[in-house]
Every structure is written in structure tokens, then in C-alpha cells.
């Protein structure tokens, strides 16, 4: 029997997740929660552009809670812990890219209580954080001994990110440096990336200071730059870097960095991606040292779909069977077995 899945929110990740559920042989879409009144009452297939599915979108939390479903892929812009707790108490497993990657005991306690009450499981996942930042560096570190340093780093051209309101009003691009530095982005990122660094620190066994050092840097335009939010004028923010580090004494042992640039021209400082271009990098220093470069999750200007958004959704979708099979509570990557993607339907083995 296929696991019955509800999609919560139908933004970029939500749309990609719905398409992923439709392609997954072990999953069945049975519901969707939408924020927009314009989407309420519409067939979910029409919303995501695949044709009618016979599943109607709703903006009613009570209707979602009453649904007979095994799991919810919870993908709003920001998490609402009360919503997540209600979903868990209703007996629905929750997979989400917006929190609970590696929560502290205090952070996990209310979610664990709700999950146990509903005989359900909560799992946080994603791409960065949620994969490149901790899961895959840890997996790769098994090929080295005497580890002294782990790094995960993103290099992305924000001109490919088709979310202008988020880029301007949340990320702070096109703003003054002072406003960007005091804006919400650092705090929004801290939750997930600090958990990512702590997961790596704890699992590798570094005797690191419990405090994670978070820092950020700004680059401004030196001449007008065309971007998805319009022209960024000279003196306005056109590049951002965020760093999270765990230290043993004064020695960094884990570092996660995000590099977001509006292209590589007319920036001060003159940041670039280097000859490797857009990518994710994962580095482990030990015996031996090695670096792994991952390309393909960042799109190119003019692409219809942001590859990283689709990858985030896929990580959620493919986790659903493992999460549904896990014991009740809060499950991190360290609690789940290995799982993979599934074959395209046209190439799938016949099911007996």
C-alpha cells in the first residue's frame, strides 16, 4: 500500500515536492494546504501544472488534520512550531526543510512530546543546511582517519534565484550595508546552520566550544548590476557571505560558509567564484585530505526551475518512507537508515 502524503504549502519547494510524490512508486498525494486564497478549492494538479489529480487544495488546518494521511511534507517559508505539533498529534509524520535538523534537547522536547502522543515522527532535511552541510560531509568523512577539519561551502549566483521579494526584503540585496547587516537573514540562517555544525562536531567527536561562531561579510556594487530585483546601484548590497565555525581553542574544526553573489563583476570586495564556478564543496582534512565538488544544484540565468529547490524537495520526498517507519519522536539523519532516490516510472521494475 502506498503511503498517503499531504503537501503543506505550494511555493517552489512545494510544487517540486508534489511532482516528486507523483513520481514515487511508494507514495500517493492525498491533500495539500495552501496559503493563498486564490489557490483554495483548486485541483492541486492544476496548481502545479500537471493536469487534474482529483485532489483539492485547502487553506483549512482542521481539514488537513482530519485527513487520513501518513505524512506531511511541511514546506512553508518559515516554520510554525504549533502547526507542526498539531500535525504530529494528529498522527501524521512530518518531513520538513525548515527546521529540526539536529535540535537540542530543549528545542526537541515539545516536538517529541507531540510526536509520541500521535505515534508519529518529525524529521528535518533539505540541501544546505540539510544535506551538503552535514549529512554528506559526515558520510564522506568515513574515508579518512584522524580528522582535523571539516568544511562545507556554497557558491551561488543569486541572479538565478527567482524569488525577488525574498532576495530584496529578507536577504537584503539592493539595500544599504547597515540595513542588510542588521536585517533578519543572519538570524533566519543561524538556526539551521548552527544545528548542522553541531551535528558534524558531535559525530566526529571534536572537543569544541559549545558556542558556534557566526560571522558575515558584505560586498557592494561599484557600478549598476542587473538582477532579478531590478538594478542594484553602486553602494548597494550585491554580495553576502555567512560563516559558522566550531572551534577547539582557537582552531576551527568545522566551518560552513555560504557565498551569495549577484554575479562576479562590479563588486567591492572583488569576490568571485573562481574557475570552478557555482558549486558546493565538501572538504575533510585527515588521513587522507580530500575535497568533493558538487555541481548541478545551482541553475543558470534563464532556467525555468531552480535546481537546488528541486533537490531540496526531492530530499524530503525520498525521506518519507524511512521517516514513516521510524520510531515515534524526532529523527535526525543519524537515526535513519540509508535511503535513495527511486527510478523514473518508465524505467521502474514491475511490482508484483
CATH number of the domain bearing residue 186: 3.30.360
Provide CB contacts within 8 A for 224, sequence distance 6+: 231, 232, 233, 234, 266
Percentage of the chain lying above the pLDDT 70 cut: 99
Q: Is the pLDDT of residue 152 over 90?
A: yes
- The pLDDT score that the predictor gives to residue 165 is 85
- The pLDDT score that the predictor gives to residue 164 is 83
Residue 176 CB neighbours (<10 A): 14
- The pLDDT score that the predictor gives to residue 161 is 80
> For the chain, give me the number of helices (H) and strands (E)?
10, 14
Shared-domain flag, residues 197 and 228: yes
Q: What is the mean pLDDT of residues 153-170?
A: 88
Q: What is the mean pLDDT of residues 28-45?
A: 96
Work out how many domains the chain is built from and give that number. 2
Q: Is the pLDDT of residue 177 over 90?
A: yes
Provide CB contacts within 8 A for 227, sequence distance 6+: 158, 159, 167, 173, 174, 238, 262, 263
Q: Is the pLDDT of residue 181 over 80?
A: yes
More confident call, 348 vs 289: 289
Shared-domain flag, residues 62 and 140: no
Is 303 within a domain?
Answer: no
Q: Is the pLDDT of residue 351 over 90?
A: no
Last residue of a domain, one of 296, 318, 335: 296
Is cis: bond before 256, omega within 30 of 0?
A: no
- The pLDDT score that the predictor gives to residue 302 is 67
Q: How far is CA 265 from CA 175, 194, 222, 241, 274, in A?
A: 18, 31, 9, 16, 12
Shared-domain flag, residues 196 and 269: yes
Q: Which residue in the block uniquely carries the three cell numbers 544546505?
A: 128
Q: What is the mean pLDDT of residues 93-112?
A: 97
Shared-domain flag, residues 283 and 314: no
Which of 260, 81, 272 minimizes the C-alpha distance to 160? 260
More confident call, 300 vs 246: 246
Shared-domain flag, residues 275 and 212: yes
- The pLDDT score that the predictor gives to residue 29 is 98
Shared-domain flag, residues 155 and 282: yes
- The pLDDT score that the predictor gives to residue 227 is 92
Q: What is the mean pLDDT of residues 114-133?
A: 97
Shared-domain flag, residues 93 and 159: no
Is 161 within a domain?
Answer: yes
Range of the domain at 75: 3-127+309-347
Long-range CB pairs of 77-83 (<8 Å, 24+ gap) are: 77/9, 77/11, 77/166, 78/188, 81/110, 81/111, 83/8
Is 317 within a domain?
Answer: yes
Shared-domain flag, residues 120 and 213: no
Is 272 within a domain?
Answer: yes
CA distance 300 to 293: 17
All cell numbers assigned to 172: 537584503
pLDDT digits (tens, 9 = 90+) for 309-345: 999 999 999 999 999 999 999 999 999 999 999 999 8
- The pLDDT score that the predictor gives to residue 352 is 63
CATH number of the domain bearing residue 104: 3.40.50.720
pLDDT-based confidence at residue 76 (cuts at 50, 70, 90): very high
- The pLDDT score that the predictor gives to residue 202 is 97
Is 277 strand, coil or helix?
Answer: coil
pLDDT digits (tens, 9 = 90+) for 182-194: 988 999 999 999 9
Shared-domain flag, residues 181 and 251: yes
Provide CB contacts within 8 A for 297, sequence distance 6+: 127, 132, 280, 307, 308, 311
Q: Is the pLDDT of residue 160 over 90?
A: no
- Cβ(259)–Cβ(190) below 8 Å: no
Is 203 within a domain?
Answer: yes
Is 245 within a domain?
Answer: yes
More confident call, 77 vs 142: 142
Shared-domain flag, residues 158 and 290: yes
Indicate the pTM of the whole model.
0.94
Is 99 within a domain?
Answer: yes
| Residue 304 burial (10 A CB sphere; 0-12, 13-18, 19+) | exposed
Average per-residue pLDDT for the chain: 95
Shared-domain flag, residues 107 and 140: no
Is 160 strand, coil or helix?
Answer: helix
pLDDT-based confidence at residue 349 (cuts at 50, 70, 90): confident
Is 302 within a domain?
Answer: no
Which of 9, 21, 11, 55 minimizes the C-alpha distance to 316? 21
Q: What is the mean pLDDT of residues 222-251?
A: 96
Give the relative orientation of helices 307-325 and 12-23 as an angle to the nearest 10 degrees. 60
List residues bridging with 294 in a β-sheet.
Answer: 280
CA distance 146 to 168: 43
All cell numbers assigned to 332: 535526525
CA distance 145 to 288: 7
Shared-domain flag, residues 38 and 116: yes
Amino acid at each position: 500500500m502506498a503511503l498517503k502524503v499531504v503537501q503543506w504549502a505550494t511555493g517552489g519547494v512545494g510544487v517540486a515536492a508534489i511532482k516528486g510524490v507523483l513520481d514515487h512508486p511508494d507514495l500517493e498525494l492525498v491533500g495539500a494546504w495552501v496559503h493563498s486564497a486564490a489557490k483554495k478549492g483548486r485541483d492541486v494538479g492544476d496548481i502545479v501544472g500537471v493536469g487534474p489529480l482529483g485532489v483539492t487544495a485547502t487553506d483549512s488546518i482542521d481539514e488537513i488534520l482530519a485527513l487520513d494521511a501518513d505524512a506531511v511534507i511541511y514546506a512553508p517559508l518559515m516554520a510554525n512550531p504549533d502547526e507542526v505539533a498539531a500535525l504530529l498529534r494528529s498522527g501524521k509524520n512530518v518531513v520538513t526543510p525548515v527546521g529540526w535538523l539536529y535540535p537540542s534537547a530543549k528545542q526537541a522536547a515539545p516536538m517529541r512530546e507531540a510526536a509520541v502522543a500521535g505515534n508519529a515522527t518529525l524529521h528535518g532535511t533539505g540541501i544546505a543546511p540539510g544535506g551538503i552541510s552535514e549529512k554528506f560531509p559526515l558520510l564522506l568523512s568515513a574515508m579518512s582517519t584522524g580528522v582535523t577539519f571539516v568544511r562545507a561551502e556554497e557558491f551561488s549566483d543569486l541572479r538565478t534565484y527567482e524569488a525577488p521579494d525574498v532576495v530584496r526584503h529578507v536577504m537584503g540585496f539592493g539595500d544599504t550595508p547597515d540595513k542588510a547587516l542588521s536585517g533578519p537573514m543572519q538570524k533566519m540562517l543561524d538556526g539551521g546552520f548552527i544545528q548542522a555544525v553541531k551535528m558534524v562536531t558531535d559525530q566526529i567527536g571534536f572537543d569544541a566550544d559549545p558556542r558556534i561562531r557566526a560571522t558575515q561579510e558584505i560586498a557592494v556594487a561599484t557600478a549598476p548590476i542587473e538582477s532579478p530585483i531590478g538594478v542594484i546601484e553602486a553602494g548597494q548590497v550585491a554580495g553576502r557571505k555567512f560563516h559558522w565555525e566550531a572551534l577547539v581553542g582557537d582552531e576551527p574544526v568545522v566551518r560552513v560558509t555560504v557565498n551569495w553573489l549577484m554575479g562576479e563583476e562590479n563588486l567591492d570586495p572583488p569576490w568571485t567564484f573562481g574557475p570552478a564556478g557555482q558549486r558546493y564543496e565538501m572538504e575533510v582534512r585527515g588521513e587522507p585530505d580530500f575535497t568533493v565538488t558538487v555541481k548541478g544544484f545551482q541553475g543558470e540565468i534563464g532556467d525555468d526551475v531552480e535546481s537546488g529547490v528541486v533537490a531540496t524537495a526531492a530530499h524530503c520526498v525520498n525521506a518519507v518512507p524511512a521517516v514513516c517507519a521510524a520510531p515515534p519522536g524526532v529523527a535526525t539523519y543519524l537515526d535513519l537508515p540509508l535511503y535513495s532516490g527511486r527510478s523514473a516510472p518508465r524505467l521502474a521494475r514491475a511490482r508484483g
